[in-house]
Amino acid sequence: MDTILIVDDNQAVCDALALMLELHGYQTHTCLSPEVALKLVKIHDIALVIQDMNFTQDTTSGEEGKSLFYDLRLLQPQLPIVLITAWTQLDIAVELVKEGAADYMGKPWDDAKLLNSVTNLISLHTLSRENSQLQRVDSQRMVAIKDADLCGIVFASGSMQRSVDLALQIARSDVSVLITGPNGAGKDKLADIIHANSPLKNKPFIKVNIGALPMDLLEAELFGAEAGAFTGANKTRIGRFEAADGGTLFLDEIGNLSLSGQIKLLRVLQTGEFERLGSHQTRKVNVRVLSATNAELALDIQEGRFREDLFYRLNVIELELSPLNQRQDDILPLVSHFIGSDFSLNKQTQKALLAHGWPGNVRELENACKRAVILAPSKILSALDFGLSAELLPSEPTELKSALVSVCEPELESGSKSKSKFKPESELKPKPEPETGPLADTSELPDSANVTANSGASISVIDKASIQAELDRHKGVIARVAKSLGLSRQALYRRMEKFGINK
């Protein structure tokens, strides 16, 4: 609830204003003098001040109100102040408005006008204050990023920005971090950032992809093995924990670790102690462990594939990374980074890249860019160069068809037949030629009107099932569904309403 300070030497005026404002949901403080007003502003969170211009009997100069205004400005430069007086001093009013007074009105005031002014001024003040806070946070973040080692990461989305900010924040500590997210989204990059900005940045940084190691060799890789510990072990070898002693160990795909390996890992995390395979000598290391997984460890715990106590050891802080299709602002900057300055994209290609789902995330995008650079016939890359299907390519016929549909559809749905050159969908019958079937009676239309959707089907087959299928495929994103069907958004909404389809 916003608090308003009312300053007037007339108690009746204070009471009347307070009653009116409290009836409309505001909290109020009232006082009769500038001295008390300044004290209240210092100790309370005041959202707005309504002040008189004269406080001494028989004084009408407005100088007292002017002095109070400047004193309030010194305390809180952005505080909205409404000046209200029975004596109009135009020159002072103009001066104070120029200096930042939010409003100026005479007595008796108009309740509706005053309430409207108060509401608008408080809203503006709140937005201004929030914007200032965001600017300060953004400024501090930019300073932190400027001095940080981002390990060449490329991003522009707010989601990735938050992940990087958190990675930089937790880098200074020595706690275990679990990085979660789909394959190919960049979990290893966040691990690089954490190590590069930690106090251990000049110490060893060892990476282990647990999913790529055979189960029977996994424990030997992590903890080492003595000569003769197993077939083929001809000499003593140190494990990754020993190699990372004093530094950081990154365990990728931690969900693939065997239960016996989990027990040993838990012990190392708790005590720093372990034994090599084939040895009874206890060794001790000091290692910060970062781990990553694309698995649902909570489900693995329920099904007995992952130890709950190990999960909580690894997951002191969880750093979640979103898939690429949920941070679309990263796609074009990443493409630009991968293809280099010798190649460029036209507008249609950019749209196709943004429309693709990228199930393989950044890894898939990088591979597509490498292929495009190698195989492209020109320096301007097309969507086909990236291996994207033709249905993702925006085209002029699609736009034309959308325009035609949006023009004729109101007449179709209203039942009017006398002036429309287009037949209702139920009356459209496909012909052997052309293969795509007519949009309408093309004898009365220019050739450019006989167009089809991106999917290759004529508009006559856009039924309830096809709309529902496209909604499912594009996860309910209306703009993409309309594009894939070759409809305008308005036309798509009308068809959804007609078929009783809820988004």
Cβ neighbors of 105 (< 8 A, separation 6 or more) are 82, 83, 84, 113, 114, 117
**Residue 374's closest CA among 331, 418, 343?**
343
CATH number 1.10.10.10 given to 3-126: no
The answer to whether 68 and 37 are in contact (CB under 8 A) is yes
d(Cα 400, Cα 304) in Å, to the nearest integer? 57
Using omega within 30 degrees of 0 as the cis cutoff, is the peptide bond preceding 424 cis? no
Residue 58: per-residue pLDDT: 61
Q: Are 154 and 335 in contact (CB under 8 A)?
A: no
The per-residue pLDDT for 464 is 84
Listed by start position, the domains of the chain span 3-126, 158-322, 328-392, 396-499
pTM over 0.75: no
pLDDT of amino acid 259: 87
- The torsion angles phi and psi of 318, rounded to 5 degrees, stand at -100, 130
CA atoms of 463 and 479, how far apart (whole Å): 18
Type of residue found at 308: E
Q: What is the pLDDT of residue 248?
A: 95
Alpha helices in 303-360 (DSSP H): 308-314, 331-339, 347-355
337 and 189 in contact (C-beta within 8 Å)?
no
**Three-class DSSP category at 155:** coil
Q: What is the DSSP letter of 183?
A: T
Q: Which residues of 52-72 are buried (b: 16+ CB within 10 A; e: fewer)?
A: bbbbeeeeeebebbbebbeeb
What the block records as the tokens of 407 is: 């023009």
Is the C-alpha dihedral spanning 420, 425, 426, 432 positive or negative? positive
The conformation of residue 110, written as its DSSP 8-state character, comes to P
Tell me the sheet residues that pair with 344. Answer: 380
- Pick from 31, 25, 24, 23: which is nearest to 5 by CA? 31
What is the spatial distance between Cα 430 and Cα 448, in angstroms, rounded to a whole number? Answer: 18
Task: Report d(CA 4, CA 20) in Å as an integer.
Answer: 12
Same fold: 3-126 with 158-322 = yes
Query: Is CATH 1.10.8.60 the classification given to domain 328-392?
Result: yes
The reported pLDDT for the residue numbered 87 is 63
pLDDT for 100 equals 64
What is the Cα 123 distance to its own chain's centre? 25
Torsion sign (Cα): 418, 421, 426, 431: positive
pLDDT tens by residue, the chain, 503 residues: 789 999 998 899 999 999 999 998 899 999 999 899 999 999 998 999 998 888 876 666 778 888 888 898 888 888 888 888 776 566 676 677 767 667 777 788 888 888 988 888 888 888 877 777 777 766 666 666 777 889 999 988 888 988 998 999 999 998 999 999 999 999 999 999 999 999 999 999 999 998 888 877 888 888 888 887 777 777 888 889 999 999 999 999 999 888 888 888 899 889 999 888 888 889 999 999 999 999 999 999 999 999 999 999 999 999 999 999 999 999 999 999 999 999 999 999 999 999 999 999 999 999 999 999 999 899 999 999 999 864 544 444 444 344 434 444 444 444 443 343 334 444 444 444 333 333 333 333 333 333 333 433 333 458 888 888 888 888 888 878 888 888 887 788 788 878 888 76
Half-sphere exposure at residue 33, Cβ-oriented, CA atoms within 13 angstroms? 5
Q: 158-322, superfamily in CATH?
A: P-loop containing nucleotide triphosphate hydrolases (3.40.50.300)
Q: How many CA atoms lie less than 13 Å away from 418 in the CB half-sphere?
A: 0
Element (H, E) at 29: strand 27-31
Measured between alpha carbons, how far is 53 from 66 in angstroms, rounded to an integer?
Answer: 7
